[in-house]
Structure 1
Amino acid sequence: MTGSSEAADSSTASRAGIAVARVGVGLMWIQNSGWKTPPDFGEDRDEGLYESTRLAVEHEVFAPWAWLVEHVVLPNFTFFGWATLLVEASLGAFLLVGLATRFWALVGVGQSLLITLSVLNAPGEWHWARFLMVLVHVLLFATAAGRFYGLDGVWRPLWQRSSAPAARLLLRAS
């Protein structure tokens, strides 16, 4: 090691640390999708995802978001329940294998912000947990975490040599 500042990808320990963080966040999303149970996502029992979503109205963080949840999301809850489940399960799966990681890190930032807007003021919520979710996704984006022991790192050289639109898109998403 030299005395100069080194890039995040310059050491095996750094690469492994980034990969461990990516896999850990992926597992968090997969586990988090486990309590979003179809077909009603807790609406009939006022629990689970439905109860958590309702908190955005009962413990308002941002008035426009609370209005949207009350007037659009809750009346169409089954659709939004499925959308949430699919987004979070996909987020976990793609981060776990390290494919299109930069794109999914941005999705993770967005989903984390939506969760923050829903539950930040709810009783028993630890504010920093939501902010840390956002920050870890920013880290995964900034470090292109899928390039370290992920499929992005394996397939990126192939995408770079290809002129196919899908390869160009995956190159940007990785």
Structure 2
Amino acid sequence: MTGSIDAAESSITARAGIAVARVGVGLMWIQNSGWKTPPDFGEDRDDGLYAQTRLAVEHEVLAPWAWLVEHVVLPNFTFFAWATMLLEASLGAFLLVGLATRFWAVVGIGQSVVITLSVLNAPGEWHWSRFLMVLVHVLLFAVAAGRYHGLDALWRPLWRRSPGRAGRLLLRAS
């Protein structure tokens, strides 16, 4: 084959598959933020996000992470719970529409690692589900998934022509 045609760029099926995967992961994060119920996030009932967060201490995966959760996160749980819910809802929304997808894929990798460090050794956890969350975000980053039927595809030409720093930053994030 002559030339350098990227397989994903040349196949309508591949482009649609990337978009479907991106939308599916976005919906996963939106659903995942839905069970985090303010204002106490389960702290008063010892369930929900609070109970899930405690698993990092009760079923330690990494000692420094368990220490951080026990001494920083749990004493300031309400702040971290709101931050988690807002981060996951934003992650889902941006992936869903395909905007700044590479940036949000990196955020997804980070959040997936945090979840993995918190629950990996908990009873009933299938460890591969956590690793797959990390891997799918790596894939979304690698293929710049928002460029396939997402807002990144629509706005990249505008950002490319933009003389300002914001345009360059958005180009890199997409």
Instruction: Place the TM-score, normalised by the shorter chain, in its bin.
Output: over 0.9
Which amino acid counterpart does residue 98 of structure 2 have in structure 1? G
Q: 1:147 Cα shift?
A: 0.3
- Distance in 2, matches of 1:65 and 1:142, equals 28
Question: Is the aligned partner of 1:57 residue 2:37?
Answer: no
Cross-structure match for 2:103: 103
Change (3 A) 1:167 1:6: closer
Cross-structure match for 1:16: 16
Q: 1:9 Cα shift?
A: 1.9
- Distance in 2, matches of 1:43 and 1:164, equals 45
Cross-structure match for 2:82: 82
SS of 2:124's partner is coil
Using the size of structure 2 for normalisation, the TM-score is 0.97
Runs of 4+ residues deviating >6 angstroms:
none
Structure 2 unaligned blocks of 5 or more: none
Using the size of structure 1 for normalisation, the TM-score is 0.97
How many residues of Structure 1 are paired with residues of Structure 2 in the alignment?
Answer: 173
Which amino acid counterpart does residue 167 of structure 1 have in structure 2? G
After TM superposition, the structure 1 = structure 2 runs for residues 123-142 of structure 1, keeping only pairs within 5 Å, are: 123-142=123-142
Cross-structure match for 1:38: 38
Q: 1:26-71 CA deviation, whole Å, 9 max, x = no partner?
A: 0000000000011111000011100000000000000000000000
Question: Is the aligned partner of 1:147 residue 2:150?
Answer: no
Q: 1:6 Cα shift?
A: 4.2
SS of 2:141's partner is helix
Q: 1:5 Cα shift?
A: 7.8
Structure 1 unaligned blocks of 5 or more: none
Which amino acid counterpart does residue 79 of structure 1 have in structure 2? F
Q: 1:70-103 CA deviation, whole Å, 9 max, x = no partner?
A: 0000000000000000100000000000000000
Cross-structure match for 2:172: 172
- Distance in 1, matches of 2:71 and 2:122, equals 20
Aligned sequence identity (%): 84
Q: 1:7 Cα shift?
A: 2.7
SS of 1:60's partner is coil
Q: 1:130 Cα shift?
A: 0.1
